[in-house]
Each structure stands twice: as C-alpha cells, then as structure tokens.
Structure 1
Amino acid sequence: MLLTVDVGNTNMEFGIFRGEKLIGSFRLKTDVNRTSDEIGLYLCEYFQRFGLELGAVKDTVIGSVVPPIMYTLSRAIIKYVGKAPLIIDDGLDPRLPYVSDEGGERLGPDRAVADIAAIAKYGAPVIVLDFGTATTVDALSPEGVYLGGCITAGVRVSIDGLFQKTALLPHIELAKPDTVLGITATGQIQAGAVLGYIGSIEYLIRRTKEEMGYPEIKVVATGGLARMVADNTDLIDVVDSQLVLDGLRIIYEREQAAEERKCL
C-alpha cells in the first residue's frame, strides 16, 4: 500500500492506495501545535478501524504548503509507519514543465501535483481549478506544459474578512440563494459572497480559455467547494475530489519506474 498526505492550509488529507485504487482517506485539521504522537495515533486508529495494516504501507508521499508542520508530520510517519516519507519538492520532483522560468518561481506542491494528475487522468490541454483556502486556476498546454494561472481568495476567506470588519453582520452558511436580491442580511450576504464568487470563477474560466485559444478545453475542479460551484455553472466539466491524492500516487509511481530503469 501507498500512504499519501496532502497538507493544506486548513486540512491534512491522508489517502491509502492499493495499486491505483484509493481504498480509504481521512482528514485532520492542519494544526502546527499537534504532536507527532497525536498524528500517529489518529493514523493508527483509522487503520485499525477499517481493518488495514500499517505494516503493509510500502512508502509515504507528502505534498505540503505548510512548512511549520513538516517536522512533526515526518516524525509521526517515521515513528508509526516505520519509513521516512518522500516529500514533493524536497527530493521528489513533480517534473511539471514550465513555459517560462521568469523569476525562477515554481508552483506550490499542491498545484503542481494536481496539474500532473489532471494531465494523466483527463489529458491536455486542460484547465485545473482548486477550491481551497485560496482558489487557484492553472492552464496546461496540449504538451502538458504549465502556461500560467491565477490566485484569488477562497469564498470562506472573503466572508471571514467581511465579518472581521463589520460588527452587525451575522456569520452565515455557505449556500447558494435562489435570487441575487435578498431580503434578509443572511440572504444578501449569501447572494453577494456565493453568487458573486461563482460569477468571478466563470469570468476567470472564460478569460483563461480565451487567452489559451481553446474554447472547448476541459475544465477540472478539485477542493472543498468544487462541487458547490460546479453544480451552479456549466463551465466546469469534471469534479475530482481525489485529484491531489492521485497526483501524489502518480508522481511516486513515475519515480519508482525511473529508478527501476536505472537499475536495468
């Protein structure tokens, strides 16, 4: 089995693969104050609950955008799984080609991994959206080359910022209202935040297609709010909740295959 860990700003998602099949997954809040034992015991509890053997885990692959938690997480994997994890961008290269090296910057591990998975699963050219704490849009050419993208605040971040700056507005559930013209404060906030957010995403998708020159390009979405947005627009073709976990697996398998070829 392969254990994959996608460490985001809000949650850590653990995925267990047997071959290409995801046979289990669970989430923990990303908390830099957790101890390695806390993480390890959660891991043990999940495996025990579903009749899985930690000793059957061959390797662990981690993609993280939260550096402060990596030492604790790595120690937990070493102590409870018995193997040092492989880490994206720290010894494990996703090998995503870029159209430009301007500034020498590279995508965060989560985006690079999602892009690799989208190309492998759905082909290229493709547009990849990730609805996490931040919302990102990535464009990939027919050759699988990263062309560029954009980042905007996630809808929850935007709403939380609104609450922090206003004393009387209520906290709301993230739900799509039936109309833009709300009567209650809750309805009006939902209209502005949720419908406005969906509208902005539609604009970004249209502009991305226009700039790429592929009006019929496939659009793949992942992340916590992907389903809510996709259910209310016809511009998203696929919602894939395990895109990043699959990407971690795909990168690992490619690395293993490359190592085997070196030994021949």
Structure 2
Amino acid sequence: MINNPYGQPPFSDSLLLVVEIGNTTASFVVFNGEELLEVHKVPSETLSTPDDIDGVIKPLLLSYPELSDAALCSVVPALDPVVMSALQRRLGGRMVAVTSSLRLPFRLSYDAPETFGADRIALCALSRRLYPEDAVIALDIGTAITVDVLGSEGLYLGGLIMPGLDLMARALNERTARLPLVCMDTPTSLIGNSTAECIRNGIIWGCVSGIEGLIGKIKTLLREKSEAGEPKVIVTGGSAPLISGLLESDTLLEELAVLRGTRYLFTVNAE
C-alpha cells in the first residue's frame, strides 16, 4: 500500500453534510473541513419517502445544530428529488448535487456526459486533487466495478464497467439450478474444496486477476500516450477492502473516496 497523501489543510472550517446514495447503501457523513465527524449508513432501499430521509437527518441535526450546508452524490435517480427536498427543508443552506455540469477539477471527455455517474465524477475529482501531476487509475469496487483513467494533465481518458462481486454471485445462483448463493469473504486458498469455496474463490480471484490485468494494460496504454511516470492507483467501494488486500499492485485504499470527492466538489462549486 502507498502512503496516505492526506496532509493538506482542510478546505474550510465549516460543517457539511455529504450524502452518498449508492445502489446498495446510503451514507450520511458530517465533515468539518477535511475532518470526518460522523458516518451513518443505511440500506438505500429504506429511503423511499421524505419521512425516511428525515429519520436519518434529525439525529444528525441534534448532534450538529449549526449544520446547514449539504452535498449529494447519487446513482439512484428516483431518490434524488426526495433526498434533495428533505435536505433543503431540514438544513436550508447551500446545496450542491454532483453532476457533469459542475465546475470540475478535470476535463471530462465522454459521450453523453450527463450519463457519467455521479460517483465516478466524485472519485475522479478526488483523484485529481490527491495527485494533481500524475496519471491516475481509479477503481470503485461496489455493486458494479468501475475503472476510470485520468491523464497527468487532468484529461479523462476513458473507463470500464463490470459487474461487482455480489452481482456475479447472485447471477450464478439465479441462473443455475443447483449453485448456492455465497457470501464474499477472503479466500483461504487459491482453489476450493467445496461448491461454496469454488464459487467464492472463482469470483474473488477472478476479480483480482482481472483487475491486475487491466491495471497492466492501462499502464501500457498510458505509456503509448506518452504519459510519463508511474500512474497512481486509488481503490474504493464496498468490496474494496476485500479486493485491495489481494492486489499486487501498489494502491491507495480510500474507502470514503466518493464522499471526500463530493466534499471537494462542494467547496469548488458552492460559491
């Protein structure tokens, strides 16, 4: 693992509520500048009504009554209006939602940029902030696995999207007659001696090998594009702690990268 590059002063000293709505989990995080004060996570499927959102926000406001600003990063469009409405009603301060139309610290070259996921925007923003002079390979290993590549000059070069670990496990269970649904955890060996072990090891080691192979191919591509120096690799997402520890590549594990990237985009755009 590479050293954590955090060490700069905070962006500001004001409180900010950052909300990340993922396909599986929603995170409500209170920041004071760069300092993370509180993290509250709930299943995204439990946030279908304004009362659901209020139930999460109210305890945070009791703990931090001066909280008024918020930033939203969501990949579930159906929840965006209800979440933003609840934030505006309860907090009443400045609101920023992560979209491709924001002022970004990188240049997004992408067909139909409005389809570029908010989580990927936030991750690329943080990648650029952490490594402003380096090419970066940014991986989000969650419900889906996304790989995004930034050049050293801040140009978005492209990416890849693949199914995540749980999606692969669920597909094997749902599309076969006898294969069980297996939970993902660290394998104790390369090959398995039971059906469950074979599924788990196949998915996890297949993912690890696939990511290692992609990192190698992307590095070759960057050299062909005359990118000097070794690109940095940042890894985040719900399954990132499981996978990153098995990678041979030198990586930075930042489990809250999307939240921190959203925090950064707020500071860039709120004024």
With normalisation by structure 1, the TM-score equals 0.87
Q: Is the 8 A contact 1:198 1:233 kept in 2?
A: yes
SS in 1 for 2:17: strand
Q: CA deviation at 1:182?
A: 1.6
SS in 1 for 2:210: helix
1:129-148 pair list within 5 angstroms: 129-148=139-158
CA deviation vs aligned residue, 1:177-219 (integer Å, no higher than 9, x gap):
2333321111111111111111111111111111111672110
CA distance 1:161–1:96, change in 2 (3 Å): same
- Structure 2 distance, partners of 1:71, 1:103, is 22
Q: CA deviation at 1:134?
A: 0.6
- Structure 2 distance, partners of 1:146, 1:187, is 39
| Corresponding position: 1:235 with 2:244 | no
Structure with the higher fraction of residues in helix conformation: 1
Q: CA RMSD in A?
A: 2.1
Instruction: Identify the residue that residue 9 of structure 1 maps to in structure 2.
Output: 23
CA distance 1:189–1:91, change in 2 (3 Å): closer
1:64-213 pair list within 5 angstroms: 64-83=74-93, 85-89=95-99, 92-94=102-104, 96-98=106-108, 100-102=109-111, 107-123=116-132, 124-213=134-223
CA deviation vs aligned residue, 1:207-261 (integer Å, no higher than 9, x gap):
11111116721100011111111111121410001111111111111224xx4xx
185-194 or 81-90, larger mean C-alpha shift? 81-90
In structure 2, give the amino acid aligned to 1:196. Answer: G
Q: Is the 8 A contact 1:74 1:84 kept in 2?
A: no
Q: Is the 8 A contact 1:96 1:116 kept in 2?
A: yes
In structure 2, give the amino acid aligned to 1:201. Answer: I
Structure 1, unaligned runs of 5 or more: 260-264
Instruction: Identify the residue that residue 260 of structure 2 maps to in structure 1.
Output: 246
Q: Is the 8 A contact 1:7 1:64 kept in 2?
A: yes
- Structure 1 distance, partners of 2:86, 2:152, is 40
- Structure 1 distance, partners of 2:111, 2:52, is 41
CA distance 1:240–1:191, change in 2 (3 Å): same
Higher-RCO chain (CA-CA 8 Å, sequence separation at least 6): 2
Q: Is the 8 A contact 1:180 1:188 kept in 2?
A: no
- Structure 2 distance, partners of 1:105, 1:59, is 24
CA deviation vs aligned residue, 1:79-125 (integer Å, no higher than 9, x gap):
32234632122864435303x45455652111011111111123321
118-127 or 134-143, larger mean C-alpha shift? 118-127
With normalisation by structure 2, the TM-score equals 0.85
SS in 2 for 1:234: coil
Structure 2, unaligned runs of 5 or more: 1-14
24-33 or 220-229, larger mean C-alpha shift? 24-33
Instruction: Identify the residue that residue 50 of structure 2 maps to in structure 1.
Output: 36
The sequence identity of aligned pairs, in percent, is 29
Q: Is the 8 A contact 2:137 2:232 kept in 1?
A: yes
171-180 or 147-156, larger mean C-alpha shift? 171-180
Instruction: Identify the residue that residue 56 of structure 1 maps to in structure 2.
Output: 66
- Structure 2 distance, partners of 1:203, 1:88, is 31
